[in-house]
Every structure is written in C-alpha cells, then in structure tokens.
Amino acid sequence: MAKGNVVFDVDRCKGCGLCVYACPKKIVALNENRINVKGFNPAHVIDMEQCIACGNCAIMCPDSVITVEKL
C-alpha cells in the first residue's frame, strides 16, 4: 500500500475537523497543544507511518490547507 506525507498550512487551518472524520486510518486529529495565528487548534497527523496517501483529508478540507504527497 502507498505511503504518504501530509502537510498542513497550519496558520490557515480553522480547525473544522472535517479531515479528522474523512481519514480512514483515524490518524488525523486536531492539535489541542497548539493554537495557530487565527486562534484555532489546527489539524495534524498523529502517526505519519500509518498514512496510506488516500487524499481524503485534502479533498474534505474546505480551505485547501492540506497537501498529500505519495512516497
């Protein structure tokens, strides 16, 4: 299965959580330990090794702040 690298533009993320629900591997979460410049908890990947580069998170993001790279 493909492996991936997910990159978030954390300062543009509004923490809506749609990417969290779209991830089939359940490895995307809102980072409760960080607040971005807009005052939101941005999304991040908690275990990049489990990423299958499906792109669901990027597709669901209404602000296009997620880039998925297949490795």
Architecture category of domain 4-70 in CATH = 2-Layer Sandwich (3.30)
Q: If pLDDT is split at 50, 70 and 90, which confidence band does 1 have?
A: low
Model confidence pTM above 0.85: yes
Burial class, 34, CB count within 10 angstroms (exposed 0-12 / middle 13-18 / buried 19+): exposed
Over residues 9-50, the pLDDT tens digits come to 999 999 999 999 999 999 999 999 999 999 999 999 999 999
> CA-to-CA distance for 38 and 35, rounded, in angstroms?
8
Confirm if 51 and 25 have CB atoms less than 8 A apart: yes
